[in-house]
């Protein structure tokens, strides 16, 4: 049997033009879908904020309403302060056990897991139970932010919408992340930071196919935001202090401190999780135990309870004292770690801003520029270091405050915090949870070397071939004479043009078909025999061709003459890994070598 030939001797198949990007017109469809998902993410963010306010008013003020009121203004007694978070934790435990375990945790690791493991498919009940459980957790006093739950909820909306259409797993991932970015944009008014968070944390790639729809979702969410929330930056901050020449060095020091703080908090969190694993109770009860710790902390400092956006505003406006900030830092750290380790529902971003801002505020007592200035730098550094997303931390701080003049010190601080955390810890606070479930995640993006190399750089140029006129019985003898021969060989015409491939399996079949042994190879070339590639083809395409055709070796033919000029095998592809490894590890000083010579 013969397949249809294309002009280079290979089977008729699509060979798209090479380019910097692989996006096609289908990205326009994804962008259109992203507008729908982005609108849904913005609506979900509005609903979550209202749910939190509703639970807060009901639990702490005994009224029905959705206005935002700081928990510190409650007149409830100490007993209620202790019991309310515990009851809220018990409700969440019941919801997780009898509803969905996916609502446990702060949302971002669960979104990452859905992307990498679950084919970007989320269950409909997660989209309902996650915001509801987070509203109960935060509204009853949990020291969490709303961003993690809305990332999970927005992602669920994008995933559910994508599952209504015939899309690939990669396209579902794009819409899942688009929903997450839209939700974060609506909550904080930070579309650029939301897109950067998607790139640095959720997409695990940077391609137009995924980047552009995420941008579209963030933009439409930002357009909806003034109709759903207040206009302008969430925490306006227009300080412009004149720093001395060593101001950037001070920012680096603040970043290093934030990195050490981040590493300490990460280790303490998972140490607390290990302690909960030894509690002789079903995990359903753990959030209630965490809630008791939250309540006790609330008795010491009520400002440590709830989302704490008012606390962030106080840190940036200077309306705080050293004793208040110190107490807030200690109490918030303790109750946040215990509550999060208990498996309740809530986000990490707002608490990280408070913890980093408090440390930066205290450091600012000894630095020029004012405590509020360094509080903002501490917030960005803590976020960038803990989440291992330094660019997100920088843009998040700028968009939250509307103060672009702080770009350089923010970049220096978050870069320093990022350096400390990646050197101290192999996993972040977000990925350690996933690693403990047996999944490995890498956060380092690089170009696939298969996309840069050509087939000619890897192929074997001296190729053993068989003539198309060889009798089948001679071919049987050829393969039977030496067991170490390759599994397949190119078959060529008299002028060297590829006719096909003959494999050892073909010979075994022919041996059982004795009536055909007097014929030549030209009549018995297998159906896969015409698969070939070109010397100037990108190596990645050749590898994809080998996988799709399930071949261990494919011939390389000249585009014009169609003659066999080489052969590429699986072992040649595996050798690329050793080349990349050598580039990463082999160190040479070329100028020193020249001097020695």
Per-residue pLDDT of the chain (597 residues; tens, 9 = 90+): 333 344 344 443 444 566 777 778 899 999 999 999 999 999 999 999 999 999 999 998 888 988 888 887 888 888 988 999 999 999 999 998 888 887 787 667 777 777 767 677 777 887 788 888 888 988 898 888 877 788 888 888 998 899 999 998 889 989 999 999 999 999 999 999 999 999 888 888 888 989 999 999 999 999 999 999 888 888 888 877 778 889 999 999 999 999 999 999 999 998 998 899 888 999 999 999 999 999 999 999 998 998 888 899 889 987 888 999 999 999 999 999 999 889 888 778 889 999 999 999 999 999 988 899 999 999 999 999 998 899 999 999 999 998 888 999 999 999 999 999 999 988 888 787 777 777 777 777 777 788 888 888 888 888 888 888 887 777 777 777 766 667 778 888 888 888 888 777 776 676 666 555 457 777 766 544 578 888 888 888 888 888 888 888 888 988 888 888 888 888 888 888 777 777 777 777 766 665 555
Q: What are phi and psi of 471, to 5 degrees?
A: -65, 150
What residue spans in the chain does CATH classification 1.10.3080.10 cover? 26-228, 247-435
Task: Give me the residues paired with residue 497 across strands.
Answer: 563
At 289 the pLDDT is: 93
CATH architecture of 449-582: Roll (3.10)
**Within 13 Å, how many C-alpha atoms sit on residue 426's CB side?**
6
For 26-228, give the CATH class: mainly alpha
What residue spans in the chain does CATH classification 3.10.580.10 cover? 449-582
- Please answer whether residues 360 and 158 qualify as being in contact, where contact means their C-beta atoms are separated by less than 8 angstroms: no
At 512 the pLDDT is: 67
At 527 the pLDDT is: 47
At 213 the pLDDT is: 96
At 31 the pLDDT is: 95
Distance between CA atoms of residues 266 and 259, nearest Å: 11
At 9 the pLDDT is: 41
At 384 the pLDDT is: 92
Instruction: State how beta strands 498-503 and 488-492 pair.
Output: antiparallel
What is the DSSP secondary-structure string of 238-300? -------TTHHHHHHHHHHHHHHHHHHHHHHHHHHHHHHHTSSS-GGGHHHHHHHHHHHHHHH
What is the DSSP secondary-structure string of 183-233? HHHHHHS-HHHHHHHIIIIISSS--HHHHHHHHHHHHHHHHHHHHHS-SS-
pTM of the model: 0.82
Output the six-digit token pair for 339. Answer: 């509550």
At 22 the pLDDT is: 77
For 247-435, give the CATH class: mainly alpha
Distance between CA atoms of residues 44 and 361, nearest Å: 33
At 238 the pLDDT is: 81
């Amino acid at each position: 049997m013969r397949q249809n030939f294309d002009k280079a001797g290979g089977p008729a198949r699509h060979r798209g033009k090479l380019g910097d990007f692989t996006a096609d017109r289908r990205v326009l469809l994804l962008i259109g879908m992203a507008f729908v998902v982005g609108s849904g993410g913005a609506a979900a963010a509005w609903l979550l904020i209202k749910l939190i306010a509703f639970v807060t008013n009901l639990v702490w003020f005994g009224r029905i309403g959705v206005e935002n009121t700081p928990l510190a203004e409650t007149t409830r007694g100490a007993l209620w302060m202790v019991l309310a978070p515990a009851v809220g934790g018990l409700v969440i435990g019941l919801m997780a056990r009898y509803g969905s375990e996916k609502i446990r945790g702060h949302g971002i690791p669960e979104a990452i897991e859905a992307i990498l493991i679950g084919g970007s498919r989320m269950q409909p009940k997660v989209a309902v139970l996650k915001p509801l459980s987070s509203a109960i957790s935060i509204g009853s006093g949990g020291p969490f932010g709303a961003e993690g739950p809305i990332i999970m909820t927005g992602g669920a909306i994008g995933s559910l919408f994508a599952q209504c259409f015939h899309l690939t797993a990669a396209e579902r991932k794009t819409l899942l992340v688009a929903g997450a970015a839209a939700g974060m944009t609506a909550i904080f008014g930070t579309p650029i930071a939301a897109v950067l968070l998607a790139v640095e944390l959720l997409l695990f790639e940077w391609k137009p196919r995924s980047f552009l729809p995420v941008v579209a979702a963030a933009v439409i969410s930002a357009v909806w935001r003034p109709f759903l929330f207040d206009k302008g930056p969430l925490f306006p901050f227009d300080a412009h202090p004149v720093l001395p020449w060593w101001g950037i060095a001070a920012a680096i020091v603040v970043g290093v401190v934030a990195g050490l703080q981040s590493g300490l908090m990460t280790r303490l969190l998972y140490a607390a999780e290990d302690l909960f694993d030894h509690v002789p109770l079903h995990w359903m009860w753990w959030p209630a135990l965490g809630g008791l710790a939250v309540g006790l902390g609330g008795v010491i400092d009520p400002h440590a309870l709830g989302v704490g956006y008012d606390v962030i505003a106080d840190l940036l406006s200077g309306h705080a004292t050293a004793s208040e900030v110190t107490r807030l830092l200690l109490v918030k750290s303790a109750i946040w770690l215990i509550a999060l380790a208990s498996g309740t529902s809530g986000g990490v971003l707002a608490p990280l801003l408070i913890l980093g801002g408090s440390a930066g505020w205290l450091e600012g007592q000894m630095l020029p520029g004012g405590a509020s200035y360094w509080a903002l730098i501490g917030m960005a550094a803590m976020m960038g270091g803990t989440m291992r997303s330094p660019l997100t931390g920088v843009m998040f701080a700028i968009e939250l405050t509307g103060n672009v003049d702080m770009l350089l010190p923010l970049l220096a601080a978050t870069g320093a915090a990022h350096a400390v955390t990646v050197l101290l810890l192999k996993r972040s606070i977000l990925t350690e949870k996933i690693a403990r479930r047996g999944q490995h995640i890498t956060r380092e993006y690089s170009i696939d070397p298969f996309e840069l190399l050509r087939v000619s750089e890897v192929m074997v140029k001296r190729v053993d071939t068989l003539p198309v006129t060889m009798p089948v019985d001679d071919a049987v003898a050829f393969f039977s004479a030496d067991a170490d021969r390759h599994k397949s060989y190119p078959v060529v015409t008299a002028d060297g043009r590829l006719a096909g491939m003959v494999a050892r399996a073909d010979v075994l079949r022919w041996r059982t078909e004795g009536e055909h042994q007097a014929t030549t190879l030209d009549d018995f070339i297998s159906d896969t025999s015409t698969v070939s590639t070109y010397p100037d083809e990108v190596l990645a395409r050749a590898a994809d061709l080998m996988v799709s055709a399930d071949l261990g070796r494919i011939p390389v033919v000249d585009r014009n003459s169609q003659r066999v000029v080489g052969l590429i095998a699986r072992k040649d592809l595996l050798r690329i890994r050793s080349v990349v490894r050598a580039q990463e590890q082999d160190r040479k000083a070329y100028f020193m070598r020249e001097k020695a010579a």
